[in-house]
A and B are shown apart, each in its own frame.
Chain A
Amino acid sequence: MSVALRDALQDVELQVGQTYGVEVKGRWIELRVLPDRPSVSHEEEPMLDPWVEFPPPLPQFRVRAKAGSLVPPDPPDLPAHDE
């Protein structure tokens, strides 16, 4: 809850367990008064995409490339009945 909203509600008589509704600037606001602070589960919060790309580590060496050949892939481990 923002500080402004908390301040606005400071002097309002609110009963635990009650739900209040009010229209403000054309929008319908519902306010529930809970007996305890609800537990916040991070699992329920949305996942975020990273907002920055970490730079690579500072280079400690540089080499010139040489042409080579591709290494063959590791052979898959197939069950006997699939062979």
Chain B
Amino acid sequence: MIYDLPALHDPVDQGDIIDGCPVLRISQFSISDLLRELADSLEIEGAFSRVVVLTQTCDLANRKTTVASVALVRDAEQLVQQGLLKASDVRGAIRAGRVFGWYFLPQSDEHGLPESIVDLHPLHTVRLDLLTALCQHGRRRARIQPLYREHLAKHFADTYSRIGLPSPYATD
């Protein structure tokens, strides 16, 4: 199976799906303040979100890093209901891994996970001790198993290493 659920006190690892992670974004700013390096007008908003850990196991092992890169895990059905995607997109190109930056995760009743899409476009850096605390308090839903998580990592790498040409070469 693609998922398993590690013990509560297992360290955070690549492919962990964790609920309740605060994900922040700048919602308001003033350019005049920014130019003077003043934070007064900066407003940050956030949501407690389901995320997947992208940082590689080798970097997380032995706590070589104090932060982890995560991506949002979006409920595919909700995206369809919002009119952002068609169900056929999810079942077709996205599930086949043919859309850069969107990675399909299958449903798992056992782990309470609906069909989901990992959105690899906005990435977030989160303190590792925060993720560890969430895991230790039962907010880790599952862990994507080896091979599948490497498949996700490959898609992540492909998304950021691709080179798009302004226009395709002309053919005779």
A-binding segment of B10-18, B94-102, B105-113, B136-144: B94-102
What are the residues of chain A within 8 A of B91 when measuring CB–CB?
none
**CB atoms of B93 and A59 under 8 A apart:** no
B-binding segment of A5-13, A19-27, A49-57: A49-57
Count of A interface residues, CB-CB < 8 Å: 25
Chain A nearest CB from B114 CB (Å) reads 15
Chain B nearest CB from A7 CB (Å) reads 24
A61-B46 CB under 8 A given contacts A42-B97, A48-B93, A52-B85 = yes
A57-B98 CB under 8 A given contacts A48-B93, A49-B164, A64-B42 = no
Main secondary structure of the interface of A (DSSP, over half): loop
What are the residues of chain A within 8 A of B97 when measuring CB–CB?
42
Count of B interface residues, CB-CB < 8 Å: 39
**Residue among B25, B100, B164 making CB contact with A50, cutoff 8 Å:** B100
**CB atoms of A60 and B47 under 8 A apart:** yes
Cα–Cα, bound, A46→B82 (Å)? 26
Identify the B interface with A (CB < 8 A).
Answer: 23, 25, 27, 37-40, 42-49, 64-67, 72, 74, 79, 82, 84-85, 93, 96-102, 119, 121-122, 158, 162, 164
14 contacts between A and B (CB under 8 A): A42-B97, A47-B99, A49-B99, A49-B164, A52-B84, A54-B72, A54-B79, A57-B49, A62-B46, A63-B43, A63-B44, A65-B44, A67-B39, A74-B65
Given contacts A49-B100, A54-B84, A61-B46, 9 further A-B contacts (CB under 8 A): A42-B97, A46-B98, A47-B100, A54-B74, A56-B122, A57-B47, A60-B46, A62-B46, A65-B42
